[in-house]
Amino acid sequence: MPGLSELFRKSKRDEKEAAKTEAKEETCKAFLKAMPLRDLSELDAVKNEVRSGNILILRITPLANKSIDDVKRAVNELCEFVESVGGDIARLGEERVVVCPPNVKIWREKAPVTSEPMPTAA
């Protein structure tokens, strides 16, 4: 009957495979992070996260409570930044914005285009 140490011992091949997997995970790790946007000065941190390959969900309500103009400035600056790096940005409801790095694209459902008039309620 084999001892416990033999049951749990990894073969050399298993150890090599585990090392390869760990190395691969280190090079392609991306995180989904959620954070509030309270001030325009936090935009640099957001940009650095996106440059690092992370996806951010920003809650803009704290900034909107201070100034709607700051929200407009922040969204415009993020749109320009995302366009310059080849990423993507979209609104998630009324309170959140998602910002993605270049290797992630946001799926958008295309509205059907019809030549018929839309029915209205009578």
DSSP secondary structure string, the chain? Answer: ---HHHHHPPPHHHHHHHHHHHHHHHHS---EEEEE---GGGHHHHHHHHHTT-EEEEE-HHHHHH-HHHHHHHHHHHHHHHHHHT-EEEEETTTEEEEE-TT-----PPPPP-SSPPP---
Which of the two residues, 29 and 31, has the higher pLDDT score? 31
pLDDT classification of 110: cutoffs 50, 70, 90: confident
Mean pLDDT of the chain: 84
CA 42 to CA 35: how far, in whole Å? 10
Q: Which conformational region is residue 53 in: left (phi greater than 0), alpha (psi within -120 to 50 degrees), or beta?
A: left
pTM attached to this predicted model: 0.68
104 vs 15, higher pLDDT:
104
pLDDT at residue 14, rounded to an integer: 67
Show the domains of the chain with their CATH numbers: 29-100 (3.30.110.150)
